[in-house]
């Protein structure tokens, strides 16, 4: 597993209502590591049906993968990505994935792979609410799920991917 290094701010303790990984290098190996760490935090912190946990993790993974693959495509150097998750009563989980790169507009005339280009639609299908905001300073994806229940304390763990 890739170690997340550099100027990374981390939170996500057991029972925490927030998860933070800021300033993570925008590379696919780091996407895999973030997916694992986020999934573990989700499992420890919330009581979720397996399909609901899978949907949340997949949507977050898609946004992270897009940041790693496309945000810095025109840049000479790889940039960073940020993952923030916050739980607020009444039972709402909001996950924000951000980068500091420039959005690359998909050109259907030059991209031949018909399996590509479905990430945003997938995120919108998996989340209760999905917003993508692009600006010269970067792109921010905000995913939101309602009716999320915190895990019971003392020995009880939420359920997630098998």
28-32, 36-40, 118-122: the lowest-pLDDT one: 118-122
CB atoms under 10 Å from CB of 93, counted, come to 24
pLDDT band at residue 110, thresholds of 50, 70 and 90?
A: low
What local confidence, expressed as pLDDT, does residue 104 receive? 62
Do the beta carbons of residue 140 and residue 96 sit within 8 Å? yes
pLDDT of 17-34, one tens digit each?
899 999 999 999 999 999
Residue with tokens 């009880």: 156
Q: Across residues 66-71, what is the average pLDDT?
A: 92
- Report for 70-79, 126-135, 146-155: range of highest mean pLDDT: 126-135
How far is residue 16's CA from residue 3's CA, in Å, rounded to a whole number? 22
Domains of the chain: 9-103+119-150 (3.30.565.10)
Cα 71 to chain centroid distance, Å, stands at 14
Question: Burial, 40: exposed, middle or buried (Cβ in 10 Å; 0-12, 13-18, 19+)?
Answer: middle
Do the beta carbons of residue 151 and residue 44 sit within 8 Å? yes
What local confidence, expressed as pLDDT, does residue 162 receive? 39
CB atoms under 10 Å from CB of 54, counted, come to 16
Check pLDDT > 50 for residue 2: no
Check pLDDT > 90 for residue 66: yes
pLDDT band at residue 132, thresholds of 50, 70 and 90?
A: very high
């Amino acid at each position: 597993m890739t170690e997340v290094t550099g100027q990374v701010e981390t939170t996500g303790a057991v029972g925490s209502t927030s998860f933070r990984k800021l300033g993570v290098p925008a590379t696919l190996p780091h996407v895999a590591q973030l997916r694992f760490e986020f999934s573990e935090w989700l499992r420890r912190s919330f009581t979720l049906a397996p399909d609901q946990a899978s949907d949340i993790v997949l949507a977050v993974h898609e946004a992270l993968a897009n940041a790693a693959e496309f945000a810095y495509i025109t840049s000479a150097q790889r940039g960073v990505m940020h993952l923030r998750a916050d739980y607020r009563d009444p039972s709402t989980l909001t996950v924000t994935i951000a980068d500091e790169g420039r959005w690359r507009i998909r050109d259907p005339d030059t991209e031949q792979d018909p399996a590509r280009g479905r990430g945003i639609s997938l995120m919108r299908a998996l989340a209760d609410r999905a917003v993508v905001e692009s600006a010269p300073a970067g792109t921010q994806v905000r995913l939101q799920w309602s009716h999320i229940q915190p895990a019971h304390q003392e020995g009880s763990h939420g359920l997630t991917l098998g």
